Amino acid sequence: MRFNHRKPLMALVMLIAALTLAVGNSACGGSSSSFSSESTEAEPAETTGTEEGEETGEEEPAEGEEEGGEGEAIASNPANAKVSLTIGSKNFPEQEILGEIYTQALAAAGYKAKSDLSLGSETVALKTLKSGQISGYPEYASTALTSFFGLEPEEVPADATEAWEKANAEFEKEGLEAFEPTPFASANAVGLLKTTAEKYNLKTISDLEGVSEKLSLYGSPECRQRIDCLAGLEKLYGLKFKEFKPVDISLRYKVLEQGQADLSILFTTDPQLSAEKEKFVILEDDKEVFPAGNIIFVTSKKVAEGAGPDYEKTILNVQGGLTLPVMQELDARVELEKQTPKEAAASYLEEAGYVE
Protein backbone atom coordinates (compact mmCIF):
# COMPACT_ATOMS: atom_id res chain seq x y z
CA MET A 1 0.00 0.00 0.00
CA ARG A 2 1.07 3.57 -0.39
CA PHE A 3 0.00 6.38 1.91
CA ASN A 4 0.10 9.42 -0.34
CA HIS A 5 -0.71 12.81 1.15
CA ARG A 6 -0.70 14.47 -2.25
CA LYS A 7 -4.06 12.97 -3.22
CA PRO A 8 -7.07 11.42 -1.46
CA LEU A 9 -6.92 7.81 -0.38
CA MET A 10 -7.26 5.54 -3.38
CA ALA A 11 -7.87 1.84 -3.26
CA LEU A 12 -5.11 1.06 -0.79
CA VAL A 13 -4.52 -2.49 -1.79
CA MET A 14 -4.33 -1.37 -5.42
CA LEU A 15 -1.65 1.16 -4.58
CA ILE A 16 0.89 -1.32 -3.21
CA ALA A 17 4.45 -0.27 -4.03
CA ALA A 18 7.80 -1.85 -3.35
CA LEU A 19 9.53 -0.83 -0.17
CA THR A 20 12.45 -1.73 1.86
CA LEU A 21 10.59 -1.67 5.13
CA ALA A 22 13.61 -1.57 7.37
CA VAL A 23 11.80 -2.35 10.53
CA GLY A 24 13.31 -4.64 13.06
CA ASN A 25 11.66 -7.31 15.07
CA SER A 26 12.28 -9.06 18.30
CA ALA A 27 14.39 -11.70 16.61
CA CYS A 28 16.65 -9.68 14.33
CA GLY A 29 16.92 -6.14 15.62
CA GLY A 30 15.43 -3.00 14.14
CA SER A 31 15.85 0.22 12.23
CA SER A 32 13.50 3.05 11.45
CA SER A 33 11.43 3.99 8.44
CA SER A 34 8.78 6.57 7.73
CA PHE A 35 5.53 7.27 5.92
CA SER A 36 7.05 10.18 3.98
CA SER A 37 5.90 10.61 0.42
CA GLU A 38 9.50 10.34 -0.75
CA SER A 39 9.80 6.76 0.51
CA THR A 40 8.14 3.63 -0.71
CA GLU A 41 6.63 1.07 1.61
CA ALA A 42 6.53 -2.60 2.23
CA GLU A 43 4.16 -4.67 0.23
CA PRO A 44 1.96 -6.13 2.97
CA ALA A 45 1.67 -9.84 3.55
CA GLU A 46 -1.06 -11.58 1.63
CA THR A 47 -4.07 -12.09 3.83
CA THR A 48 -5.10 -15.27 2.09
CA GLY A 49 -1.78 -17.03 1.97
CA THR A 50 -1.56 -16.69 -1.82
CA GLU A 51 1.65 -15.92 -3.61
CA GLU A 52 2.95 -12.39 -3.37
CA GLY A 53 2.33 -10.16 -6.34
CA GLU A 54 5.08 -8.72 -8.50
CA GLU A 55 6.61 -5.59 -7.02
CA THR A 56 4.98 -3.17 -9.36
CA GLY A 57 3.16 0.07 -8.85
CA GLU A 58 -0.20 -1.67 -8.73
CA GLU A 59 -1.50 -5.02 -7.62
CA GLU A 60 -4.80 -6.78 -7.86
CA PRO A 61 -6.55 -7.33 -4.54
CA ALA A 62 -5.97 -10.74 -3.03
CA GLU A 63 -8.72 -13.27 -3.51
CA GLY A 64 -11.33 -12.82 -0.82
CA GLU A 65 -10.13 -9.33 0.08
CA GLU A 66 -12.20 -6.32 -0.82
CA GLU A 67 -10.56 -3.53 -2.69
CA GLY A 68 -10.24 -0.42 -0.57
CA GLY A 69 -12.54 2.43 -1.48
CA GLU A 70 -11.49 5.99 -2.23
CA GLY A 71 -11.40 8.07 0.92
CA GLU A 72 -12.74 11.57 1.32
CA ALA A 73 -10.75 14.47 2.72
CA ILE A 74 -12.20 15.57 6.05
CA ALA A 75 -13.77 19.03 6.04
CA SER A 76 -13.96 20.98 9.28
CA ASN A 77 -17.51 21.99 10.18
CA PRO A 78 -17.66 25.01 12.55
CA ALA A 79 -20.98 23.74 13.91
CA ASN A 80 -19.17 20.78 15.44
CA ALA A 81 -17.03 22.99 17.69
CA LYS A 82 -19.69 23.02 20.38
CA VAL A 83 -19.51 19.21 20.76
CA SER A 84 -16.90 17.64 23.06
CA LEU A 85 -15.99 14.00 22.48
CA THR A 86 -13.72 11.59 24.34
CA ILE A 87 -12.66 8.57 22.32
CA GLY A 88 -11.48 5.58 24.29
CA SER A 89 -9.58 2.40 23.53
CA LYS A 90 -8.30 -0.66 25.30
CA ASN A 91 -4.67 -0.48 26.35
CA PHE A 92 -2.72 -2.33 23.69
CA PRO A 93 -1.09 -0.97 20.51
CA GLU A 94 -3.67 -1.85 17.85
CA GLN A 95 -6.50 -0.39 19.91
CA GLU A 96 -4.48 2.70 20.75
CA ILE A 97 -3.74 3.31 17.06
CA LEU A 98 -7.43 3.05 16.23
CA GLY A 99 -8.38 5.31 19.11
CA GLU A 100 -5.96 7.95 17.87
CA ILE A 101 -7.15 7.64 14.26
CA TYR A 102 -10.75 8.27 15.32
CA THR A 103 -9.81 11.07 17.73
CA GLN A 104 -7.66 12.96 15.24
CA ALA A 105 -10.21 12.51 12.45
CA LEU A 106 -13.02 13.88 14.60
CA ALA A 107 -10.83 16.84 15.60
CA ALA A 108 -10.23 17.50 11.91
CA ALA A 109 -14.00 17.51 11.41
CA GLY A 110 -14.25 20.35 13.92
CA TYR A 111 -15.14 18.50 17.12
CA LYS A 112 -13.44 19.11 20.46
CA ALA A 113 -12.02 15.60 20.55
CA LYS A 114 -9.59 14.00 22.99
CA SER A 115 -8.52 10.43 23.62
CA ASP A 116 -8.42 8.08 26.60
CA LEU A 117 -6.33 5.09 25.59
CA SER A 118 -6.01 3.23 28.88
CA LEU A 119 -9.34 1.52 29.42
CA GLY A 120 -8.02 -1.99 30.01
CA SER A 121 -10.34 -4.90 29.21
CA GLU A 122 -13.49 -4.84 27.12
CA THR A 123 -15.55 -5.03 30.30
CA VAL A 124 -13.94 -1.88 31.64
CA ALA A 125 -14.28 -0.14 28.27
CA LEU A 126 -18.01 -0.88 28.02
CA LYS A 127 -18.61 0.18 31.62
CA THR A 128 -16.76 3.45 30.97
CA LEU A 129 -18.88 4.07 27.87
CA LYS A 130 -22.15 3.38 29.70
CA SER A 131 -21.18 5.74 32.51
CA GLY A 132 -20.63 8.56 30.01
CA GLN A 133 -16.92 8.96 30.72
CA ILE A 134 -16.15 8.30 27.06
CA SER A 135 -18.17 8.93 23.89
CA GLY A 136 -17.20 5.76 22.07
CA TYR A 137 -14.46 3.20 21.51
CA PRO A 138 -13.41 0.54 18.99
CA GLU A 139 -14.42 -3.04 19.83
CA TYR A 140 -14.02 -6.33 18.00
CA ALA A 141 -17.35 -7.74 16.85
CA SER A 142 -16.42 -11.24 17.98
CA THR A 143 -15.41 -9.97 21.43
CA ALA A 144 -18.67 -8.05 21.82
CA LEU A 145 -20.76 -11.07 20.92
CA THR A 146 -18.90 -13.51 23.16
CA SER A 147 -17.98 -11.32 26.13
CA PHE A 148 -21.06 -9.11 26.35
CA PHE A 149 -23.88 -11.11 24.78
CA GLY A 150 -23.09 -14.69 25.66
CA LEU A 151 -22.53 -16.26 22.26
CA GLU A 152 -20.21 -19.22 21.98
CA PRO A 153 -17.31 -18.62 19.54
CA GLU A 154 -18.82 -21.07 17.06
CA GLU A 155 -22.03 -19.01 17.07
CA VAL A 156 -20.24 -15.82 15.97
CA PRO A 157 -20.65 -15.31 12.20
CA ALA A 158 -17.50 -15.28 10.12
CA ASP A 159 -19.15 -12.67 7.89
CA ALA A 160 -18.35 -9.17 9.16
CA THR A 161 -21.73 -7.66 8.28
CA GLU A 162 -23.66 -10.45 9.97
CA ALA A 163 -21.52 -10.19 13.10
CA TRP A 164 -22.00 -6.40 13.21
CA GLU A 165 -25.76 -6.71 12.76
CA LYS A 166 -26.00 -9.22 15.60
CA ALA A 167 -23.90 -7.06 17.90
CA ASN A 168 -25.68 -3.85 17.00
CA ALA A 169 -29.08 -5.39 17.67
CA GLU A 170 -27.92 -6.25 21.19
CA PHE A 171 -26.25 -2.90 21.79
CA GLU A 172 -29.42 -1.07 20.79
CA LYS A 173 -31.28 -2.74 23.66
CA GLU A 174 -28.90 -0.91 26.00
CA GLY A 175 -29.13 2.54 24.39
CA LEU A 176 -25.94 2.02 22.43
CA GLU A 177 -25.12 1.54 18.78
CA ALA A 178 -22.26 0.16 16.76
CA PHE A 179 -21.19 1.67 13.47
CA GLU A 180 -20.45 -0.54 10.47
CA PRO A 181 -17.28 -2.68 10.62
CA THR A 182 -13.77 -2.04 9.37
CA PRO A 183 -12.50 -3.90 6.30
CA PHE A 184 -9.82 -5.65 8.39
CA ALA A 185 -10.46 -8.37 10.94
CA SER A 186 -8.16 -9.18 13.83
CA ALA A 187 -8.54 -12.90 14.32
CA ASN A 188 -6.70 -16.17 14.73
CA ALA A 189 -5.03 -17.58 11.62
CA VAL A 190 -3.03 -20.62 10.62
CA GLY A 191 0.47 -19.36 9.85
CA LEU A 192 3.61 -20.94 8.51
CA LEU A 193 6.89 -20.22 6.82
CA LYS A 194 6.54 -19.25 3.19
CA THR A 195 8.94 -22.04 2.29
CA THR A 196 6.64 -24.61 3.91
CA ALA A 197 3.63 -23.18 2.08
CA GLU A 198 5.48 -23.45 -1.22
CA LYS A 199 6.70 -26.98 -0.47
CA TYR A 200 3.16 -28.29 0.03
CA ASN A 201 1.38 -25.79 -2.25
CA LEU A 202 -0.71 -24.43 0.61
CA LYS A 203 -2.87 -21.34 0.12
CA THR A 204 -6.03 -22.15 2.08
CA ILE A 205 -6.75 -24.16 5.20
CA SER A 206 -8.59 -26.69 3.04
CA ASP A 207 -5.31 -27.31 1.19
CA LEU A 208 -4.08 -28.99 4.37
CA GLU A 209 -6.32 -31.97 3.66
CA GLY A 210 -4.09 -34.97 3.09
CA VAL A 211 -1.05 -32.98 4.26
CA SER A 212 -1.83 -32.07 7.87
CA GLU A 213 -1.00 -35.59 9.08
CA LYS A 214 2.64 -34.82 8.25
CA LEU A 215 2.67 -31.45 10.03
CA SER A 216 2.89 -30.26 13.62
CA LEU A 217 0.67 -27.45 14.89
CA TYR A 218 1.52 -25.18 17.81
CA GLY A 219 -1.03 -22.95 19.52
CA SER A 220 -2.05 -21.51 22.87
CA PRO A 221 -3.04 -23.91 25.66
CA GLU A 222 -6.74 -23.11 25.17
CA CYS A 223 -6.43 -23.83 21.44
CA ARG A 224 -7.73 -27.37 21.94
CA GLN A 225 -11.17 -26.06 22.88
CA ARG A 226 -11.41 -23.03 20.59
CA ILE A 227 -13.42 -23.12 17.37
CA ASP A 228 -10.95 -20.64 15.85
CA CYS A 229 -8.07 -22.96 16.67
CA LEU A 230 -7.52 -26.73 16.92
CA ALA A 231 -11.17 -27.57 17.71
CA GLY A 232 -12.43 -25.87 14.57
CA LEU A 233 -9.65 -27.22 12.39
CA GLU A 234 -10.47 -30.77 13.46
CA LYS A 235 -14.26 -30.55 13.65
CA LEU A 236 -15.14 -28.22 10.79
CA TYR A 237 -12.21 -28.73 8.41
CA GLY A 238 -11.80 -32.41 9.25
CA LEU A 239 -8.04 -32.14 9.74
CA LYS A 240 -5.75 -34.33 11.80
CA PHE A 241 -2.23 -33.22 12.68
CA LYS A 242 0.93 -35.18 13.36
CA GLU A 243 1.16 -33.34 16.65
CA PHE A 244 -0.47 -30.47 18.49
CA LYS A 245 1.68 -28.79 21.10
CA PRO A 246 0.56 -25.94 23.38
CA VAL A 247 2.92 -22.98 23.56
CA ASP A 248 2.83 -19.47 24.99
CA ILE A 249 1.49 -17.03 22.38
CA SER A 250 4.63 -14.91 22.68
CA LEU A 251 6.54 -17.76 21.05
CA ARG A 252 4.19 -18.17 18.08
CA TYR A 253 6.78 -16.97 15.55
CA LYS A 254 9.85 -18.37 17.29
CA VAL A 255 8.59 -21.96 16.99
CA LEU A 256 8.29 -21.50 13.23
CA GLU A 257 11.69 -19.86 12.87
CA GLN A 258 13.41 -22.55 14.90
CA GLY A 259 11.73 -25.39 13.04
CA GLN A 260 9.84 -26.68 16.05
CA ALA A 261 6.45 -26.19 14.40
CA ASP A 262 5.28 -26.56 10.82
CA LEU A 263 2.15 -24.54 11.55
CA SER A 264 1.45 -21.99 14.27
CA ILE A 265 -1.67 -20.10 15.30
CA LEU A 266 -0.91 -16.45 14.54
CA PHE A 267 -3.05 -13.30 14.56
CA THR A 268 -4.11 -11.76 11.26
CA THR A 269 -2.89 -8.28 12.23
CA ASP A 270 0.51 -9.37 13.54
CA PRO A 271 3.12 -6.79 12.48
CA GLN A 272 5.49 -9.56 11.43
CA LEU A 273 3.16 -10.38 8.54
CA SER A 274 3.97 -6.95 7.13
CA ALA A 275 7.59 -6.56 8.21
CA GLU A 276 8.63 -10.10 7.25
CA LYS A 277 6.28 -10.86 4.40
CA GLU A 278 8.94 -12.87 2.60
CA LYS A 279 9.21 -15.24 5.56
CA PHE A 280 5.69 -15.75 6.95
CA VAL A 281 2.26 -16.29 5.39
CA ILE A 282 -1.19 -17.18 6.68
CA LEU A 283 -3.68 -19.56 5.12
CA GLU A 284 -7.07 -18.36 3.98
CA ASP A 285 -9.98 -19.45 6.17
CA ASP A 286 -11.82 -20.53 3.03
CA LYS A 287 -14.73 -22.17 4.88
CA GLU A 288 -15.20 -19.01 6.98
CA VAL A 289 -15.01 -20.92 10.22
CA PHE A 290 -13.16 -18.41 12.38
CA PRO A 291 -15.37 -15.73 14.01
CA ALA A 292 -15.39 -12.19 12.57
CA GLY A 293 -12.96 -9.97 14.45
CA ASN A 294 -13.69 -6.76 12.55
CA ILE A 295 -13.73 -3.51 14.50
CA ILE A 296 -17.07 -1.88 15.23
CA PHE A 297 -17.07 1.58 16.80
CA VAL A 298 -19.43 1.49 19.79
CA THR A 299 -21.07 4.66 21.02
CA SER A 300 -24.26 5.75 22.74
CA LYS A 301 -27.32 6.81 20.80
CA LYS A 302 -27.45 10.00 22.86
CA VAL A 303 -23.90 10.95 21.89
CA ALA A 304 -24.48 10.11 18.23
CA GLU A 305 -27.62 12.23 18.07
CA GLY A 306 -25.98 15.15 19.84
CA ALA A 307 -22.86 15.05 17.70
CA GLY A 308 -24.76 15.19 14.43
CA PRO A 309 -24.18 13.41 11.10
CA ASP A 310 -20.47 14.25 10.83
CA TYR A 311 -19.77 11.93 13.76
CA GLU A 312 -20.65 8.63 12.12
CA LYS A 313 -19.64 9.89 8.68
CA THR A 314 -16.12 10.71 9.86
CA ILE A 315 -15.66 7.39 11.65
CA LEU A 316 -16.76 5.35 8.64
CA ASN A 317 -14.74 7.51 6.25
CA VAL A 318 -11.37 7.08 7.94
CA GLN A 319 -11.79 3.41 8.73
CA GLY A 320 -12.64 2.65 5.11
CA GLY A 321 -8.94 2.49 4.28
CA LEU A 322 -8.11 0.13 7.13
CA THR A 323 -7.65 -3.05 5.14
CA LEU A 324 -5.73 -5.93 6.69
CA PRO A 325 -2.38 -5.05 5.06
CA VAL A 326 -2.75 -1.44 6.21
CA MET A 327 -3.48 -2.46 9.80
CA GLN A 328 -0.59 -4.90 9.78
CA GLU A 329 1.76 -2.12 8.73
CA LEU A 330 0.41 0.37 11.25
CA ASP A 331 0.89 -2.23 13.99
CA ALA A 332 4.44 -2.76 12.72
CA ARG A 333 5.15 0.97 12.91
CA VAL A 334 4.24 1.01 16.58
CA GLU A 335 5.29 -2.43 17.83
CA LEU A 336 8.49 -2.83 15.83
CA GLU A 337 9.58 0.68 14.89
CA LYS A 338 8.42 2.15 18.19
CA GLN A 339 6.43 5.01 16.74
CA THR A 340 3.77 6.22 19.13
CA PRO A 341 0.13 5.41 18.29
CA LYS A 342 -0.42 9.15 17.91
CA GLU A 343 2.38 9.43 15.35
CA ALA A 344 1.24 6.38 13.38
CA ALA A 345 -2.35 7.63 13.29
CA ALA A 346 -1.29 11.09 12.14
CA SER A 347 0.81 9.61 9.34
CA TYR A 348 -2.06 7.41 8.19
CA LEU A 349 -4.54 10.30 8.09
CA GLU A 350 -2.18 12.73 6.38
CA GLU A 351 -0.55 10.50 3.83
CA ALA A 352 -3.79 8.77 2.92
CA GLY A 353 -5.29 12.16 2.11
CA TYR A 354 -7.82 12.50 4.91
CA VAL A 355 -6.10 15.57 6.34
CA GLU A 356 -3.46 17.98 5.08
Q: Rounded to whole angstroms, how far apart are CA atoms 257 and 279?
A: 9
Question: What is residue 56's predicted lDDT score, i.e. its pLDDT?
Answer: 34
Based on the fold, state whether residues 86 and 125 are members of the same structural domain.
yes
Domain boundary among 236, 253, 282: 282
Which candidate, 126, 287, 156, places its Cα nearest to that of 226? 156
Q: Classify residue 316 by burial, with Cβ atoms within 10 Å: 0-12, 13-18, 19+.
A: middle
Q: Which strand ranges, in their side-by-side order, compose the sheet holding 280-282?
A: 243-246, 216-219, 263-267, 188-193, 280-282
What is residue 153's predicted lDDT score, i.e. its pLDDT?
85
- Residues 47, 33 contacting (CB under 8 angstroms): no
- The answer to whether 269 touches 331, Cβ cutoff 8 Å, is yes
- pLDDT value at position 71? 73
Question: Looking at the structure, do residues 229 and 312 belong to the same domain, yes or no?
Answer: no
In a domain, 32, yes or no: no
- Verdict on whether the full-model pTM lies above 0.85: no
Query: Cα-Cα-Cα-Cα dihedral of 356, 108, 270, 153, to 10°?
Result: -150
The whole-number pLDDT of residue 70 equals 55
Q: How many domains does the chain have?
A: 2
Q: How far apart are CA 2 and CA 64, in angstroms?
A: 21
Determine the pLDDT at residue 4.
43
- Among 279, 282, 356, residue whose Cα is nearest residue 324: 282
pLDDT at 168: 98
Domain that holds residue 253: 188-282
pLDDT attached to residue 222: 87
Looking at residue 254, what is its pLDDT?
97
Task: Looking at the structure, tell me whether residues 198 and 142 fall in a common domain.
Answer: no
User: Tell me: the pLDDT tens digits for 194-226?
Assistant: 999 999 999 999 999 999 999 999 999 889 988
- Regions of the chain short of the pLDDT cut 70: 1-70
Q: CA-CA distance, 341 to 328, in Å (whole number)?
A: 13
> What's the chain's length in residues?
356
Are both 81 and 169 inside the same structural domain? yes
Amino acid letter, 176: L
Same domain, 150 and 209: no
Please write the tens of the pLDDT for every residue from 301-317.
Answer: 999 999 999 999 999 99
CB 114 within 8 A of CB 330: no
